[in-house]
Structure 1
């Protein structure tokens, strides 16, 4: 007698049928209200529950009687949530500009396979416009490899990163991480201007304490430092003692006048005459 075996049909029609059910109101028994735009998204309880433990816990052990009320998910953008549904329904996903939000959702929902697909994609497509946004995700979600890639990208393309809107939206912990790097390919004067751009939208204490203290003011030219001191009198942002320490470095013509990294050159530090006293090693 022949042993029964598993016989498979065509995969393509099955996948196409499941894809047609994504956000399809007919036969759906779960309704979400997603993102700040409060977009309505329809789904199917049994599929979400069997594919994802997060949704199984969120939706309960079985569908409730009658017409269920909407499940509100306000923190995930609608386009990213639809990408998550695409993965749950078809085990594949089309990633593009919302890939970081999809990555964030994958981590939040415990979807390890989707998380790995997003990581692989984000690492391949990082550019100056996306890298600052992507850097936020690894710090908040503990994604070390992506964090390292983002930092290396900003170090190599610092000028481009500074000009993006994403840089101005970086959190204080991320900015601290960047400003402590000796590998930034940007002159200190540009970093000072960028830090000043952060101030109008945030409390001065928030910027000055954790971020501004990492600026290496001794790397500024004398004229730049003088102009900075004058602006700081009108709009206090930088601690006075930090400016005094920078003048001290210039006055003594020695890079080791201040201990630590305050006089250490970055990779992008410009080398005019007044900076030749900065003889500490470039890392």
Structure 2
């Protein structure tokens, strides 16, 4: 009996072991073989190698970056010029690449918040979720306020609530940390709005006073820097004294180096 055309045309997609694919792709991370794009990362200026097609198909930010580069390229040699990521930690960038290549990521408390920040900036939502889960499960007294600040800054509601729950249980220890004193206005307000803080009003008010003192000093220092110095119009990379600021010995560092 002959098969009907509809049955003969039917197809089935069969799934092989994803672990072997992930393992093979992991070998390509920072591998110079067949690499066609490179990045100079961090203060260490570490050279990291990658593959455009992998980055572009997995991340819209990289897709846009490479598309823009190709539109402005004048010669093939220009494609060999590395991208510079001066403000990024090489370990963090490698973690981002690990996720892009393998859909998994290796995290530690030292880099998790920075990887979360990068996940948001690169639009890698699944990586963002992995970071939120990891941070929420590994909160410590020292990092709780840093995590809360990241949650507030990047609108991570779930992480924000996890941090607040942890802070409510460990309030006496939390308010003694440097990261508590360095919270932004929104960060401190999100804590003070809770009615579950495990600390009496007196010590809490004292902790908030200390937060205000530290933040006012930071604001005064930043404001004074911009008051006392201003960028020279003719040399934007240099600074000069403002009118009314008397010369001082340390102002010699504002002068351009002798040629």
The two structures share one fold, judged by TM-score above 0.5: yes
Give 1:34 deviation, angstroms.
2.4
State the alpha-carbon separation in 1 of the partners of residues 115 and 69 from structure 2: 27
How far is 1:172 from its partner? 2.6
Q: Does 1:58 align with 2:55?
A: no
Once the two structures are superposed, residues 43-84 of structure 1 have per-residue CA deviations (whole angstroms, 9 ceiling, x without a partner) of 111100011111111122676622522212234322222111
Matched residue count: 207
| 1:72 to 2:90 alignment | no
* 8 Å CA contact 2:149, 2:183 repeated in 1: yes
Distance in 1, matches of 2:143 and 2:87, equals 19
Q: 1:184 to 1:11 in 2, by over 3 A?
A: closer
Listed as ranges, the gaps of 5+ residues in structure 2 are 221-259
Q: Deviations over 1:197-238 (max 9, x none)?
A: 55675434959xxxxxxxxxxxxxxxxxxxxxxxxxxxxxxx
Single out whichever of 97-106 and 178-187 deviates more from structure 2: 178-187
TM-score by length of 2: 0.69
Q: Using structure 1 for the length normalisation, give the TM-score.
A: 0.63
Q: Confirm or deny that 1:177 pairs with 2:190.
A: yes
Q: Which residue of 2 aligns with 1:156?
A: 169
Structure 1 pair 74–171 and aligned structure 2 pair: CA distance change class (3 A): farther
Aligned equivalents of 1:177, 1:11: Cα separation in 2: 42
Deviation at 1:135, TM superposition (A): 0.6
- The more displaced of 185-194 and 15-24 is 185-194
Which residue does 1:96 correspond to in 2? 108
Runs of at least 4 residues of structure 1 off by over 3 A?
Answer: 1-13, 35-38, 61-64, 179-182, 187-207
Q: Secondary structure at the match of 1:60?
A: helix
Higher mean C-alpha deviation, range 131-140 or range 159-168: 159-168
Partner residue of 1:39?
46
Deviation string for 1:96-147 (max 9, x for gaps)? 2122211111111111111122222222222212211111111111111211
Aligned position for 1:27: 34
Matched residues in 2 for 1:195 and 1:57: separation?
44
Root mean square deviation, CA, Å = 2.8
Contact 2:181 2:215 in 1 (8 A): no
Aligned with 1:42: secondary structure? Answer: strand
